[in-house]
Amino acid sequence: MTSFWIVLLAAGAMAIAGLMLVPTLTGIPRERWAAHTLRPIVVQIVVGSLAAGMTSVAFRAPPTWALGFAAFGGTLAILRFGHRYTPMRRIKRLTRALSIDSERARAIAEIGPELDRGRPTMPGDPRLAAWAHAALVAAAYLIDADEPEAARGVLERTSGIVFNGISLANRALIWAHVEVFANATAKARSALDSVPRTLETPLLAAHRDGLEALVLACEGDGLGALSRVEAWKYADSWYGKLRLTARAVAHASRGETALRERTEHEIERRFGARAAETARALANAHAAS
């Protein structure tokens, strides 16, 4: 096999390796990546690998050297990509501590300052997009940990950053989540209505549908909220707490006390006392008078 074909095969192999490493390098689950966001990563790795490999081919290097140069170029591209997501990996380490009672308060207190330390200062720095993504992830984890006001503080740090596409939709969903638990239903509805009805990422689409059920319940449309919950078409493990909270608020808005209490007990059984208390407070705010 000639050096040329070896370089091409090496570039393809490096691209596959890069894709496999994406969750590790970024701390972002694979299901949160859409095809069009992964495409530039593949292109960068392939270009890096080809540039180094073809340079060796131009100088008539033997096949083993061509392979080595191609692998080196691809590795540099992967490492450069990983460096961009350093703030994300640090934030993910802190968010993992949110589930540990003895570390929870420290993690909540450190997330904001950690984001401040890792924010690029130069305008146009390509790492700024990755930093903004880290901030959105931090806010999402704080919401899941039943700390919506801490999530608000993180979201406010992204003020002035221009979001596009999936990131724009994700930010609007997180804002809607924060506002609905602050009993600012109109603001939650406004943020939710800004999200496109069709989303390429299933996890974001599921978040939107779960929030739609909860906002409907808070708006007093308990029947509509329950219908949305029953029509759930995504993985049952996705946004279970959000759906149960929507159900609890819907029953509260309809005056169905026994069903509401049963749902709140289910939230506590599955997600803990803090989650049940958060759901109970929201249900109380929207209970039928």
The reported pLDDT for the residue numbered 153 is 92
**Does residue 240 contact residue 266 with C-beta atoms inside 8 Å?**
no
Write the DSSP assignment of 151-198 as a string of letters. HHHHHHTTTTPPP-HHHHHHHHHHHHHHHHHTT-HHHHHHHHHTS-S-
Helix (H, G, I), strand (E, B) or coil at 111: helix
DSSP-derived letter for residue 65 is H
**Does residue 115 contact residue 134 with C-beta atoms inside 8 Å?**
yes
Helix, strand, coil share (%) of the chain residues, nearest 5: 80, 0, 20
pLDDT along the chain (289 residues), means of 10: 74 78 67 63 79 76 77 79 73 84 90 87 75 88 91 90 86 94 94 87 91 96 95 93 97 95 96 93 88
The reported pLDDT for the residue numbered 199 is 80
Q: Which of 186, 241, 184 is nearest to 210 (CA)?
A: 241
